[in-house]
Amino acid sequence: MSTPRVNLKSSLEAALGNEVVEDAPLSAHTSFRIGGPAALFVRADRVEQVAAALAFAHAQGIPALVVGAGTNLLVSDGGFDGLALRPEIGGVSIGEGGRSVTVGAGVATAALVERLIAEGLAGLEFAAGLPGTIGGAIAGNAGCFGGAFGDRLIAATLIEADGTIVELGDPSWFAFDYRCSRVANTGAVVARATFEVEPGDRLHLEEIAAQRVATRRQKHPAAGVRTAGSYFKNLPPEAPGGLRRAAGALLDQVGAKAMRVGDAVVFERHANIIVNAGSASARDVLALAEKMRAAVRDRFGVLLEPEIRFVGPKPEGI
C-alpha cells in the first residue's frame, strides 16, 4: 500500500465508525483455519457501512476481500495485502402471505432455513444444515439435494465495488450457474436478498430438513472440523438434463482418501473433502489438491475444477 497504513486505518475508522484492525490473521475467519494476515480488517453490520468501506477501498486503490463465514475460502499463507471486509448485516422479514422472505447477507443459511421451517414456509429446506451465510450462498449459488439459492432469488440489494448501492429486481442479472454467479466476478457485495417461499406443512418440512441434516452428517465432517467442504466441483452430466457426476466418486477410485500432504488430509468418509488435521498451511492444501487432481486426470482424462476460492499469492512451485 502506497499510503501509510496509519492514515488508512484512521481514515477508514472515521468513515465507518467501526474499529479497523491491522494485520488481522485471516485464519480466524475461515473454516479451514488457514491464512496469513489481512493488511486491514473491518466488520460492518449496516448496508451504509459496507458501501462506505468499499467506496474507501476503491478510492484508495486498495484491493477488497469480502469474508463472510469463510466456509468456501482458502487464504494464502502470505495473507491479503488489502482490506478484508466482513459484512454482518442481519434481519429476517417474512413477506405478506408468506410468499417471500427478505434477509440480511450476514445471516447464517442454516439459521434462515430453521426460521422458515418454524414458520411453516417451504422453498429453502434443501439447505438445512448448510454452512455459510446468505451473501456467500448467493455469490457462489450454493446448493445441494437438487436445489440452489439462485433458483429462489427474487430481488437483492447489491453494493458495487465502488460503493454504489443498487436495488436489483431482476435476478437474471446474477447469471447463476453451477456454483457461481456474476456477483462473484465483479467485486460486488450482496447486502440483502429476497427469496420466494410458500406456505407448507411444518411437520413435513421438519422431516425433510432432518433427512438432509442426517445425510450431511453421514458424509461430511462434524461441526468444528477445520474444512471448507467439497474442494472440487462436480462434473457436468453425461447427457443433457441428467445429474452431475460426483467428483468424489472419481477421487475415491484413485485412492484419494489415503492422500496427505503435511497436515492437509483427505476426509476418511468423503474423497472430495480436505481437512486441516492440525497445522496445515495453504501450501499443504494446494499441494494435496493438485495431487488429487493429477490422479483423476491421469486415470480418467478429466480435469477437476476447484470449488474452493483461493485468495492471495500462490506459493512458488504450485
Which residues carry out catalysis? 179, 230, 307
Q: Are 120 and 202 in contact (CB under 8 A)?
A: yes
Residue 309 belongs to what H/E stretch?
Answer: strand 309-311
Q: Residue 37 contacts by C-beta under 8 Å, 6 or more apart in sequence?
A: 23, 24, 25, 26, 79, 80
**Pair type for strands 198-199 and 260-261:** unpaired
- Rounded distance between C-alpha atoms, residue 2 and residue 179, angstroms: 36
Q: In whole angstroms, what is the distance from residue 118 CA to residue 205 CA?
A: 9
User: Per DSSP, what are the bridge partners of residue 264?
Assistant: 261, 276
* C-alpha–C-alpha distance, residues 186 and 313, integer Å: 20
**How far is C-alpha 108 from the geometric centre of its chain's CA atoms?**
11
What residues contact residue 105 under an 8 Å CB cut-off, 6+ apart?
A: 68, 87, 89, 133, 134, 135, 138, 189, 190, 191, 192, 193
Residue 149: partners with Cβ closer than 8 Å, 6 or more residues away? 109, 124, 127, 134, 137, 138, 141, 142, 143, 195
DSSP string, 13-68: HHHHSS-EEEEEEGGGGSTT----EEEEEEEE-SHHHHHHHHHHHHHHT--EEE-S
- Max Cα separation, the chain? 58
The grid cell for 193 is: 436478498
